[in-house]
Amino acid sequence: MAAKYIFVTGGVTSSLGKGIISASLAKLLQARGFSVTIQKFDPYINIDPGTLNPYEHGECFVTEDGAETDLDLGHYERFLNKATSQANNVTTGRIYYHVITQERQGAYLGKTVQVVPHITDEIKRRMLLLGESGEFDIVITEIGGCVGDIESLPFIEAVRQLRWELGVNETCVIHLTLVPYLKAAGELKTKPTQHSVRDLSEAGVQPDILVCRSEYHIPSDLRKKIALFCNVKQNSVIESIDAETIYDVPLLMRKEKLDERVISKLKLPQKGEPELETWKEFLGRLKNPTAEVNIGLVGKYVELPDAYKSIVESFVHAGAANECKVNIKWFQSENINNENVASLLQGMDGVLVAPGFGERGFKGKLESIRFVREAGIPFLGICLGMQCAAVEFARNVLGLENAASTEMDPETPYPIIDLMEDQKEVTQKGGTMRLGAYTCELKKGSKAFSIYGKAKISERHRHRYEFNNNFLADFEKAGMLASGINPDTGLVEVIELQNHPWFVAAQYHPELKSTVLNPHPLFVKFVKAAMNYTKSK
């Protein structure tokens, strides 16, 4: 069977949760036995979100093949338990870059290059790419931004053309919109939804299904009104109410029969009821914890939790695996110093020092690590967190005064963390780091080996600076073991303290691989260590 295409658009306002709705629908269709993938088309002109400040756009999610992508791809992977790739995230910048490069190479033979057909043709080609691979029955394409935005127009136009070209039962458009509640009037209002659908229709695309985000239940008379004014069937007006956790959304969408509407629109073969038992078991463990721990997350973007989205979700998965409620306490690393670190962190059952770039908040991270190392509190360091752990150890245990990373102090006498040789010539910022999956070998008998239960692992990276192996012998002599090494380059991937209850730090990003069905072992064991620490207090 040729792949069928579902397009998810959004109106009224951004951040309505198109990513979660797309991932939930994909989960339901996957649970019915279909092979599904999701892709995100972003209307901004950056080639990828790799150079965006996390405050602008949340975290940057890295795929196995090293693509720096939108954080929605993290949701897709966590829900579907399937890896995404470069092909799953496309930006306006990438589309234009490709078309302009083609034009410079003379591909258009003297034609005037225009938004229609050249840009829209390239968008359509990318929309169909995954479907033509033969791997998938259904491709869900989420269009970023809002209908009515100037930058979204070429994408909507591409959808209009594809619907026309592919045929009536080959595509389905789901439009996500807002039904706000006006306190003063004491009622839900449908007008924003009507306007949003009108904007979409003016661009030539009539939605098949409306998913209405609301804080309150939408009664049937309002659904009738929305259906009438927006030209959709009444049973295709779907309510999406605020959920306790994003992992409830597939079950809420199942109750609203979103998957059934899609199956009937696309004339898909009925494959029986969705198999959601393991999902329900996960939710059962998540909502009925038997223990509770407080984990301190020390980072520099803590004002926007989305900047650490994958870490937060990894704690949700690991908490459920341990039947333990994980309370994350956020600490702005800039505000931590020698005087206040003990009072801030002593109530924690575990501390995670988060990834990041640049000097801001570096000293606070070092102080946090010194405190938990000396106090015996379980510690997990990720990427820059691992580099900070190495610098802190060099300064306070090895006595190397002013030891640092050359990222923070290019003149340091002890460059514990340094640029790799092949990075020293790099001047461009975008897409030039060590990105994507690399293998790592764990030393038998180490804590890292016991956490993973195997010697060879593969993890995703996103960094420029590495541990400087010139200091390795001194580290190991003083009790800091390099327990994970990249077999091809000899670079240090994991370090751990031998005379500490649980002190592990990784150069890679374990949070990027944690899913509902496969919680990441590092997070699972870290939460377990925090539970043991609570009991021992």
Active site residues: 383, 509, 511
Judge whether 472 is annotated as a binding position: no
C-alpha–C-alpha distance, residues 138 and 37, integer Å:
7
Judge whether 23 is annotated as a binding position: no
Judge whether 364 is annotated as a binding position: no
DSSP 407: T
DSSP 166: H
Tokens 């033969």 sit on residue:
134
C-beta separation of 22 from 76 below 8 A: yes
Spell out the SS3 assignment of 416-468: EEEECHHHCCCCCCCCCCEEEEEEEEECCCCHHHHHHCCCEEEEEEEECEEEC
- In this structure, the strands spanning 503-506 and 492-497 are antiparallel
Judge whether 70 is annotated as a binding position: no
Judge whether 150 is annotated as a binding position: yes
Tokens 């102080």 sit on residue:
367
Structural element, H or E, at residue 506: strand 503-506
Cβ count within 10 A of residue 501: 14
Judge whether 189 is annotated as a binding position: yes
Judge whether 385 is annotated as a binding position: yes
Judge whether 194 is annotated as a binding position: yes
Judge whether 435 is annotated as a binding position: no
CA distances from 168 to 10, 22, 57 (A): 21, 21, 35
Judge whether 15 is annotated as a binding position: yes
C-alpha–C-alpha distance, residues 467 and 406, integer Å:
11
Cis peptide before 207 (omega within 30 of 0): no
User: If we measure between CA atoms, which residue out of 217, 207, 85, 199 comes closest to residue 152?
Assistant: 199
Judge whether 17 is annotated as a binding position: yes
Judge whether 407 is annotated as a binding position: yes
Q: Which two tokens stand for residue 524?
A: 């699972």
User: If we measure between CA atoms, which residue out of 273, 253, 59 comes closest to residue 140?
Assistant: 253
C-alpha–C-alpha distance, residues 279 and 285, integer Å:
10
Judge whether 192 is annotated as a binding position: yes
C-beta separation of 531 from 322 below 8 A: yes
Residues 454, 456, 461, CA angle at the centre, nearest 5°?
120
Judge whether 14 is annotated as a binding position: yes
Judge whether 190 is annotated as a binding position: yes
Judge whether 5 is annotated as a binding position: no
Tokens 């050249």 sit on residue:
118
- In this structure, the strands spanning 415-419 and 404-405 are parallel
C-alpha–C-alpha distance, residues 504 and 502, integer Å:
6
C-alpha–C-alpha distance, residues 482 and 521, integer Å:
18
Handedness of CA 246, 249, 250, 251 (dihedral sign): positive
Judge whether 20 is annotated as a binding position: yes
Judge whether 67 is annotated as a binding position: no
Judge whether 55 is annotated as a binding position: yes
Tokens 């012998």 sit on residue:
473
C-alpha–C-alpha distance, residues 9 and 176, integer Å:
6
User: If we measure between CA atoms, which residue out of 405, 368, 404, 408 comes closest to residue 503?
Assistant: 368
Tokens 């059934």 sit on residue:
260
C-beta separation of 468 from 407 below 8 A: no
Binding-site residues, in ranges, read 14-20, 55, 72, 142, 149-151, 189-194, 225, 243, 356, 384-387, 407, 464
Annotated binding site for UTP: 14, 189-194, 225
Binding residues for ATP: 15-20, 72, 243
Binding-site positions for Mg(2+): 72, 142
Binding site for L-glutamine, by residue number, is 55, 356, 384-387, 407, 464
